[in-house]
A and B are shown apart, each in its own frame.
Chain A
């Protein structure tokens, strides 16, 4: 039998996939493609190296210092200097330091990991193979979802290793550790989401991955300064701070994850805004 004998679907009985199924397929493919590309593997390798170092040195040492303050005043004074004094009140020192580190590192890392959601593919014309088979909305949101899955996967891995450190150092807190993991995960997923959504938007606007990453850094670093300057003359403009991803991270790092949940409306609103704007542009874009 040759393959020509098999045509499971003629042109008159084509099956329309449910929209969510296609979005899910695109998200899955994004996962596969991200780890199959050299760029994806490179960024992941960097991620693994950085996190292994962080987990086994700064996080472990800081956690030891918090568990045994005597003789560790130098490390504790550094935490105070970084404005992380409230972390000392945490029962689970490992997770306390992880929380402070992950709140800053994951969003930053996601900028680079999610920078190429569509740019390379649009340049080589690959999106044209997709648009005849699914809607632009499914492509756009599927890609975003795929990158959020990648971030979620990486968060779960780092949380699992941190939990391992916790039960090695303080076995008695194994249950408390398990209980806090979902709360940390939810917080960190939502904190990371506007950064990934910003890259979805920039993937539509920019023509190179490098430019998209550069633009993201400019938005995050410079726009705050510009808004501050403008707000000193026109105070009502300070409302634009709410559009800068991560504007609430500093305050979140000062509190425990359950209290931090109260400020998550900011990243949710930012994510929705960036995604809507990006989709609106992508829908009309020539590919």
Chain B
């Protein structure tokens, strides 16, 4: 099966500054993909090139087999560009209907489609407002709504929940999860726990270089594939318990993340029931726990492995 996105030796420079350095990757359509990296890592530049907003300095990007920005991709990609605003002089309905008409909807259907996506973002009540009358979070949701129009095959969302209140951020996560069966989302965010809940793969950029592209929860390192993790959160700090956990069968390492949180690395093949052993140990030692999580967080996956 040909890749949905194929990047070959992709580079982008702004003057002397290299924003992307010789990036190579392939992505298949399917579950949402997280794009992570610190500020200035090149996430928005990569989105910009994929969306056809800017040309690459070198290399090639193909989406659905076509060059990024080519007319064959019109209507197949939706995007939430960072800091882009609609026309301040027209109402939301006027503008979204216009965009829908450009996408091929009839005059009547374009209005229905505009209202449909506004409803997805809980914004139907303000469809007669102009963009200037809305709060920052509402403007962001309108921009996400336009990205969903016509149910494109690929949607690129650049920090979709940044600046949103928890309820609306949750709604956006929910929409992405619900629409993931028909649309492939690529989502950039600094909120790793949010990405962890939505995405199945993560692409990590750092200083313009692709550091890793891996499935969330599965190590990129082949030699670590039999290794599994348990994350233990205690109700109170306990400085002694981690030494006792180390004694349990199959435990290889116990990392103290905080004084009340441990990441337990163990060999899954030699003990599939470590969680039960751990519960028994905690009961025997009268240590109260808050959570035991199978696996490690995305944050730990990205940073513990890269720092080891």
Q: Is A132's beta carbon under 8 Å from chain B?
A: yes
Query: Separation in Å of the B65 CB from the closest CB of chain A?
Result: 16
Instruction: Pick the contact of A128: B53, B90, B119, B124 (CB < 8 A).
Output: B53
Q: Interface SS of chain B: helix, strand, loop or mixed?
A: loop
Which stretch from B147-155, B195-203, B223-231, B300-308 is at the chain A interface? Answer: B147-155
The contact size tier of chain B is 35 or more
Q: A125-B84, A132-B78 are in contact. Are A286 and B55 (CB under 8 A)?
A: yes
> Does B105 contact A9, Cβ atoms closer than 8 Å?
yes
* Interface flags, A1-25, vs B, CB<8A=1, else 0: 0111011111100111100001001
Please, how many angstroms separate the alpha-carbon atoms of A2 and B183 in the complex?
22
> Does B54 contact A286, Cβ atoms closer than 8 Å?
yes
CB-CB under 8 A from B87, the residues of chain A are: 33, 36, 121, 126
CB-CB under 8 A from A2, the residues of chain B are: 119
* Interface flags, B119-138, vs A, CB<8A=1, else 0: 11000100000000000000
* Interface flags, B86-127, vs A, CB<8A=1, else 0: 111110001000110111111001001101101110001000
Q: Is B238's beta carbon under 8 Å from chain A?
A: no
Please, how many angstroms separate the alpha-carbon atoms of A14 and B182 in the complex?
14
Interface centre among A125, A129, A130 (most CB of B within 10 A): A129
CB-CB under 8 A from B51, the residues of chain A are: 128, 131-132
Contacts from B to A (Cβ < 8 Å):
48, 51-55, 69, 71, 73-79, 81-90, 94, 98-99, 101-106, 109, 112-113, 115-116, 118-120, 124, 146, 150-153, 182-183
A-B contact count (CB 8 A): 120
Instruction: Pick the contact of B102: A4, A9, A134 (CB < 8 A).
Output: A134
| Interface set, chain A 1-57, CB cutoff 8 A to B | 2-4, 6-11, 14-17, 22, 25-26, 29, 32-33, 36-38
> Does A8 contact B112, Cβ atoms closer than 8 Å?
yes
List the 7 shortest-distance A-B pairs measured between CB atoms, nearest first: A125-B84, A15-B104, A286-B54, A133-B102, A128-B81, A36-B89, A8-B109
Q: A4-B116, A7-B151, A10-B182 are in contact. Are A22 and B102 (CB under 8 A)?
A: yes
CB-CB under 8 A from B54, the residues of chain A are: 286-287
> Does B150 contact A9, Cβ atoms closer than 8 Å?
yes
Instruction: Pick the contact of A286: B48, B118, B119 (CB < 8 A).
Output: B48
> Does B104 contact A14, Cβ atoms closer than 8 Å?
yes
Instruction: Pick the contact of B99: A8, A33, A133 (CB < 8 A).
Output: A133
